[in-house]
Amino acid sequence: MLQDCREHDIVLNMPELPDISAYIKALESRIVGQPLEHIRLGSPFLLRTVQPPPNAAEGKVVHSLRRIGKRIAIGVEDDIWLVLHLMIAGRLHWRTRGAKLGGRQNLAAFDFPNGSLVLTEAGSKHRASLHLIHSEEALRSVDPGGIEVLSSTLDSFREAMTAENRTLKRALTDPRILSGIGNAYSDEILHAAQLSPIALTSKLKTEEWERLYAATREILQRWMDQLGSEADANFPEKVTAFRKGMAVHGRYGEPCPRCGEKIQRIRYADNETNYCARCQTGGKVLADRSLSRLLGSDWPRTLDELEALKRR
């Protein structure tokens, strides 16, 4: 029965801090200093604000780009900001100038003299959004408030993470606590720190906080450097949460690069958490909601029990 459930589900993940940083790096050389000639909307549901209207930004020169959590803010003259939130399935593409917006997936195009930035969204649920905002003060209103880990201290990191008693997975991915971290990189961080995704923030020891803080900074910086280097060469057209070189995320059933044990997962709603039981949970197999309900008392608690169940 367990064997039948081992096929890896294809799960879309929201672009996170390293991915957004790569987009921004690629866009800086293409649109900063260039006039935004025209905004074309392919979907009326994308734009979530009324004032200022889109035409207020047209003809204005782009002066800066900024990441706000998992959002991309494009600043143009007259203190107008275009804030894009890609959500789960939104992606950006650099196309030839005036690229057509045919098909349901093409939500918007932002035309510049040297090309068009096109926003697409896979699937039928249009969750991606565009906000036009006037002034820096108003721009701060879209910031969820999470701290920037790469500029934080160990003390400020620990203080933010312990404001509420959460599991590490929930705390790492809460945008009000930490800025820009989601499902994929939280898996990588917890594996690097050798900590359980369901460990409570109130229970961590001093040395565990030190490991978690160091792992968070190291994982984010490593992937920012790698994806940024790739963005120097080509626009990041295929942003995905499942990348070659990841230790656990998206690698269910594959060997852990540290110990060789098979990667496990917890599935919930549209997401899953990947982890190594030997490296992170002392050999304990964490309960998967759907499967543990199905198997009841037969749910395996250890790696040995899991292997025995698979052999049935």
List, for residues 216-246, the tens digit of each pLDDT value.
999 999 999 999 999 999 999 888 888 999 9
pLDDT of residue 312: 43
Q: Are 46 and 126 in contact (CB under 8 A)?
A: yes
Please tell me if the domain spanning 1-11+146-312 has the same topology as the one spanning 32-142.
no
The whole-angstrom separation of Cα 286 and Cα 277 is 8
**Rounded average pLDDT over 112-132:** 93
Q: How confident is the model at residue 289 (pLDDT cuts 50, 70, 90)?
A: low
Cα distances (Å, whole numbers) of residue 271 to 241, 274, 288 = 12, 10, 12
**Rounded average pLDDT over 168-178:** 96
**Rounded average pLDDT over 166-177:** 95
Q: Does domain 32-142 have CATH number 3.20.190.10?
A: yes
The two three-digit tokens of residue 18, written as one number: 């390293």
The one-letter code for the residue type at 185 is Y
The whole-angstrom separation of Cα 23 and Cα 254 is 30
Q: How confident is the model at residue 60 (pLDDT cuts 50, 70, 90)?
A: very high
| Residue 99 scores a pLDDT above 80 | yes
Residues contacting residue 296 through CB under 8 Å, at least 6 positions apart: none
Region of poorest pLDDT, from 41-45, 84-88, 143-147, 211-215 = 41-45
| Residue 117 scores a pLDDT above 70 | yes
| Residue 8 scores a pLDDT above 80 | no
Smallest CA-to-CA distance from 285 within 299, 295, 296 is with 299
Domain boundaries, the chain: 1-11+146-312, 32-142
Cα distances (Å, whole numbers) of residue 111 to 39, 116, 117 = 6, 4, 6
Q: How confident is the model at residue 126 (pLDDT cuts 50, 70, 90)?
A: confident
Paired sense of beta strands 90-95 and 80-85, if any: unpaired
Cα distances (Å, whole numbers) of residue 84 to 117, 195, 284, 307 = 12, 33, 41, 46
| Residue 130 scores a pLDDT above 90 | yes
Q: How confident is the model at residue 13 (pLDDT cuts 50, 70, 90)?
A: confident
- The beta-carbon contacts of 226-232 under 8 Å, at least 24 apart in sequence, are 226/18, 227/18, 227/19, 227/21, 227/22, 228/21, 228/22, 228/25, 230/22, 231/22, 231/23, 231/25, 231/26, 232/25
| Residue 11 scores a pLDDT above 80 | no
Q: How confident is the model at residue 267 (pLDDT cuts 50, 70, 90)?
A: confident
pLDDT of residue 270: 66
The two three-digit tokens of residue 121, written as one number: 């969204």
Q: How confident is the model at residue 152 (pLDDT cuts 50, 70, 90)?
A: very high
| Residue 78 scores a pLDDT above 80 | yes
Q: What string of DSSP letters covers 249-301? A: TT-TTSBPTTT-PBPEEEEETTEEEEE-HHHHSTTBPPPPHHHHHHHGGGS--
Q: Are 119 and 84 in contact (CB under 8 A)?
A: yes
Q: Which residue has the higher pLDDT, 4 or 265?
A: 265
| Residue 91 scores a pLDDT above 90 | yes
Please give the distance of CA 226 from its chain centroid, rounded to a whole number.
Answer: 16
CATH topology of domain 1-11+146-312: Helicase, Ruva Protein; domain 3 (1.10.8)
| Residue 1 scores a pLDDT above 70 | no
How long a stretch of residues is the chain?
A: 312
pLDDT of residue 10: 40
| Residue 52 scores a pLDDT above 50 | yes
188-200: per-residue pLDDT in tens?
Answer: 999 999 999 999 9
The whole-angstrom separation of Cα 170 and Cα 186 is 9
Q: Which residue has the higher pLDDT, 188 or 6?
A: 188
Q: Which residue has the higher pLDDT, 292 or 31?
A: 31
The whole-angstrom separation of Cα 85 and Cα 74 is 12
How many CA atoms within 13 Å lie on the side-chain side of 14? 22
**Rounded average pLDDT over 147-168:** 97
Task: Give first-to-last CA distance, the chain, whole Å.
Answer: 9
